[in-house]
A and B are shown apart, each in its own frame.
Chain A
Amino acid sequence: MFFFILRRLLISIPILLASSVLMFFLVINSGDPLFDLRASTNPNVDQLIAARRQRLRLDDSAWERYWDWVTGLFAGDFGQNREGQNVSTLLWQAVQTTFRLVVLATILSIVIGIVFGIITAVRQYSVLDYSSTFAAFLFFSLPVFWVAVLLKEFGAIKFNDFLEAPGLSTTGIVLLTATGSFFVYGLVGGGRKRRLTAAAIAAAVQLVALVAIDRTDWMLNPGLSPLVIAILGAVVGVGAAAIFAPLSTTRVLLAALASVGVGLIGATLFQGWIEDPNWSKLLLLFLFTLGTGVGVGALVGGEVDRRLAMRAGAVSAFGVAAIILFDQFISAWGPGRTIGTVGPQTPNLTGTFWERMVDYAGHQILPSLALALIGFATFMRFTRSSMLDTMKSDYVRTAKAKGLPGNQVILRHAFRTALIPVMTVVTISFATVIEGAVITETVFGWKGMGQLFVEGLQNVDPYPVMGFMVVVSVSIVLLNAVADIMYAYLDPRIRR
């Protein structure tokens, strides 16, 4: 294995060198680096031209410049841009900004994509399947920049206006309810009658919730009351139990619900921490939550179901924690903290932890969403076909034949195998995500890698562009290697 990895990485070095030569020569020949000065009416323009010629070393041969750049690279020197700033400094800031965008978008698209992929595979040929497939094709065909501009208009500007004076019209309530019920109708299995009942129940719940939200001016003063938190917690507990075992397994259900209860009590004890946390406190709380969940599961689970109960306890504890934190988050959503359209955060913002989080999230959500659309479509389609293949395999049929409940077959037997090819797509889709990030950053005015690239290229300023390219190419090569290794590692049929 070690030699496989080593060999894989050694092969990529000449490839990376070749691609950097190609890029370097394309970039320095992409235009006239003095074009803005030639048109300038500045009296000392000759001096400026001479200075830039010297800085960009325009009188030296291209090979010399490339050689110095490459050798400098190994000493951690990425060169300087035409204003004389160090590219490595610029690049480091840009990478941090873009990393936030890319990671959140990737996580969003993976989670939603895989969930929808499984649902559409399990409910193949349902209305939900057809509409999700259509949506995936639509997302494949959307120009990212067009969507980003629209999101900026409707998701930020119009939505902010809406939050100033929120109010749901009757049509709005009906439309939202109809969408939700349609989703539930597609999601639930069984005969038409069962699905219609489920959809009707969902519609009733949504109607009540939406009318309540509208009447109580919830959107002006958002937050979850303890009662709502408790109800949602119970729902999460039952759901977590249902994932791991059929609901008739009382001990697992009991463990999940007990862990929810412990979580709620814990939240009141640690109220001060939760209301004004920092990252280390949150991490501690997170570990503590997981620990209690597992502990409760171990206590309640009994001999036979202990491991399942522990898992269910951990998941439901985690769910409760998420609900409580979400409550804090939306409570901090005061007036003025709205969806941002420019940059990754409000400059010079002071405030409590949660207010800063709201600000980050408000600025982050739309670019990430724009970026996540294509990835979502890819992951959904990939998971769906992989899942369909797995569902046809013999061992899944065996599991069904042994009498395992449907969701157990899907989650514990089919899903895991189906994920193997999907995980490799994560790494391979990186190139697409970077392309999208360049565009979204331009639309939303983020000063990230995209800006470095676009501005550098416009100015025919080679080193920022090359710095960007080094980061991207190295990441692509490494991720491809990771994909190969992961494939070999995850699939026991390939592993020796």
Chain B
Amino acid sequence: MTADTDHAGRTGQGADRIDADGILEVGADDSGMAVKARSQKQMVTRRFFRHRLAMVSLAVLIGVIVLAYAGLWFWDLPYDQSGTVVNGGQATIDLIPWIDGDGLALGQHPFGQDNIGRDYFAVTLKGAQGSITVAILAGLIATTVGTIVGALAGFYRGKVDSFLMRIVDVLFTIPLLLLAAVIGRRYETEGVIVGALIIACLAWLTTARVIRAEFLSLREKEFVEAARALGASNRRIIWKHMLPNVIGSVIVSATLLISAAILIEAALAFLGFGVTDQSLGQQVQTYRTAFNVRPWLFWWPGIFIIVIALTINFIGDGLRDAFDPKQTRVRQ
């Protein structure tokens, strides 16, 4: 048993290192003898591009984003105009052509129509636009705020640190979604930007803690001391010397925040405290009761939410692996 597991474990590990993310390939060529010099950036990009799942996810995500933003340009049916309901509003898209043999086809209303005859494809795309915009804006703003707060707290320590971290502690006693709901109740459907800001000003806490911890350990490193001895200002040390060292954590937490923001926005809309007027969550909420009559009105926005959140999570995972210095070890 022991020997079996051991053996299987070791071969398994080896296989993964080659196929899943090319961890083995760090700096070594095929023969494994000559070592080519690569910069940190090159190694990270290389590892990321070898992460198959992350690459597939990236392609799918870009596809969804392009569809959401460019799709409405080419799609001539408007999202806000009612019309006559054709065939009970059934979805006309044909994704499994081998069943009835009609081939891949979009049809007149690929995602069907709602009860007042709006084309649901256009409605879903509009919602996806809203959700993606909110999520990306919120994720980027929250990451920026979190990084700055974490960097300041970790670098200056002392009073600055305790002040900033007490704010974080206070906000941590209230679940994010519920705090956002209270603020969302006031700024209901004010628009995408306000929605993104509301989510962003609550979501930066974890990032701040992570970056602070990294800064606390970085500021004791020799290279920081060397920079200081050479007369570098605090600003220069933070920007030029320390921030580049935490860039991995920053990027990873940005992706995680974006996928969290999609779900938070959707949950807010579902609870009735939605922050935007056009979003996927809003549509799930609107058509929740239509599930028995027109199930497709419920399915499409939900599937879009899942695809966007899932692909971003996979990309985040790929990035985390790529930035992880432990992964640079050549196979023992």
Contact = CB atoms under 8 A, between A and B. Distances in A.
A189 B173 contact: no
A465 B181 CA distance: 11
Contacts, number: 144
A140 B255 CA distance: 13
Interface in A173-195: 189-191
A16 B169 CA distance: 9
Interface stretch (A76-84, A85-93, A452-460): A452-460
A444 B295 CA distance: 19
B70 to A, nearest CB: 24
Contacts of A190: 1, 4, 8
B177 A438 contact: yes
Interface size, B (range):
35 or more
Contact of A432 (B8, B175, B183, B259): B175
Nearest to B11: A125
B121 interface: no
A124 interface: yes
A334 interface: no
A285 B288 CA distance: 46
Interface string A129-149: 000000001101111111001
B178 interface: yes
B254 interface: no
B281 interface: yes
Interface string B13-48: 101100000000000000000000000000000000
A459 to B, nearest CB: 10
Interface stretch (B75-83, B94-102, B189-197, B268-276): B268-276
A476 B172 contact: yes
B174 A472 contact: yes
A113 B177 CA distance: 24
A124 B12 contact: yes
B310 A454 contact: no
A19 B205 CA distance: 15
B257 interface: no
A400 B6 CA distance: 10
B166 interface: yes
Nearest to A32: B186
Given A19-B171, A457-B185, A465-B182, A143 B5 contact: no
Contact of B310 (A141, A439, A477): A141
Contact of B267 (A126, A137, A144): A144
A473 B2 contact: no
Instruction: Please report whether the interface of chain B is mostly helix, strand, loop or mixed according to DSSP.
Output: helix
A406 B5 CA distance: 8
A472 B175 CA distance: 8
A23 interface: yes
Interface in B267-319: 267, 270-273, 281, 284, 288, 291, 298, 302, 305-306, 309-310, 313-314, 317
A442 B259 CA distance: 23
Interface string A401-426: 00111110100000000000000000
Contact of B2 (A122, A409, A457, A472): A409
B314 A137 contact: yes
Interface string B156-178: 00000000001001111111111
B140 interface: no
Contacts of A137: 310, 313-314, 317
A221 interface: no
Contact of A141 (B9, B263, B284): B263
Interface in A145-189: 145-146, 149, 153, 189
A435 interface: yes
A211 interface: no
Contact of B306 (A143, A153, A189, A453): A143
A15 B173 contact: yes
B266 interface: yes
A75 to B, nearest CB: 22
Contacts of A453: 178, 181
A190 B2 CA distance: 10
A225 B222 CA distance: 73
A322 interface: no
Interface in B37-89: none
B180 to A, nearest CB: 10
Contacts of A472: 174-175, 178
B181 A457 contact: yes
B2 A404 contact: yes
Contacts of A191: 4, 8
A457 B291 CA distance: 27
A31 B185 contact: yes
Given A140-B313, A141-B259, A439 B13 contact: no
Q: Which of A141, A435, A465, A473 has the largest number of chain B CB atoms within 10 A?
A: A141
B5 A122 contact: yes
A435 B175 contact: yes
A96 interface: no
A144 to B, nearest CB: 7
B173 A476 contact: yes
A434 to B, nearest CB: 5
Interface string A116-127: 000000101110
Contact of B170 (A18, A146, A400, A454): A18
18 contacts: A26-B183, A30-B183, A30-B185, A122-B5, A124-B9, A125-B13, A137-B313, A141-B310, A141-B313, A143-B266, A143-B267, A143-B284, A146-B302, A146-B305, A149-B288, A406-B4, A431-B172, A435-B177
Given A125-B12, A439-B270, 12 more contacts: A19-B171, A31-B186, A141-B313, A143-B305, A143-B306, A145-B266, A145-B270, A149-B288, A189-B1, A404-B2, A453-B181, A454-B181
Nearest 3 A/B pairs, CB to CB: A141-B309, A125-B12, A406-B1
